[in-house]
Amino acid sequence: MDIYFLGTGAGVPAKERNVSSVALQLLEERKAVWLFDCGEATQHQILHTSIKPRKIEKIFITHLHGDHIFGLPGLLGSRSFQGGETPLTVYGPPGIKEYVETSLRLSCTRVKYELIFKEIESDGLLFEDETFQVFVSKLEHGIPSYGYRVVEKDLPGMLLVDQLKKLNIPPGPVYKQLKDGKTVTLEDGRTIRGKEFLGPPKKGRIIAVLGDTRACHARFELAKDADVLIHEATFAKDEEKLAYDYYHSTTEQAAYLAKEAEVKVLLLTHISSRYQGEESERRLLSEAKEIFENTFVARDFFQMEVQRRESDIS
The CATH number linked to 74 is: 3.60.15.10
According to DSSP, the β-strands at 2-7 and 303-305 are antiparallel
Q: Is residue 229 located within the same domain as residue 172?
A: no
Residue 301 to residue 44: CA distance in whole angstroms? 12
125 & 166 share domain: no
Cα-flanking dihedrals φ and ψ of residue 42, to 5°? -60, -40
pTM for the model: 0.91
pLDDT for res 302? 98
Residues 265 and 207 occupy one common structural domain: yes
Q: Which residues, 6+ apart, have CB-to-CB distance to 12 below 8 Å?
A: 19, 67, 273
Alpha-carbon distances, residue 126 vs 100, 121, 155, 280 (angstroms): 20, 9, 21, 37
In 3D space, the residue among 56, 210, 67, 203 whose CA is nearest the CA of residue 136 turns out to be 210
Residues 151, 288: one domain?
Answer: yes
Whether residue 170 sits in one domain with residue 149: no
One-letter amino acid of 74: G
**Tally of domains in the chain:** 2
Question: What pLDDT does 19 receive?
Answer: 98
pLDDT of 44 reads 98
Quick: pLDDT tens for 122-135: 999 999 999 999 99
pLDDT, residue 155, reads 85
Tens digit of pLDDT per residue, the chain (314 long)?
999 999 999 999 999 999 999 999 999 999 999 999 999 999 999 999 999 999 999 999 999 999 999 999 999 999 999 999 999 999 999 999 999 999 999 999 999 999 999 999 999 999 999 999 999 999 999 999 999 999 999 988 888 898 988 898 888 888 988 888 899 998 888 999 988 888 888 899 999 999 999 999 999 999 999 999 999 999 999 999 999 999 999 999 999 999 999 999 999 999 999 998 998 999 999 999 999 999 999 999 999 999 886 544 44
Q: Are strands 191-193 and 206-210 parallel, antiparallel or unpaired?
A: unpaired
Task: Determine which one of 2, 37, 67, 227 is catalytic.
Answer: 67
Q: What pLDDT does 200 receive?
A: 85
Residue 199 is predicted with a pLDDT of 86
Residues 82 and 231 in one domain: yes
238 is catalytic: no
The answer as to whether 117 is a domain residue is yes
**Containing structural domain, residue 206:** 2-155+202-298
In-domain check, residue 269: yes
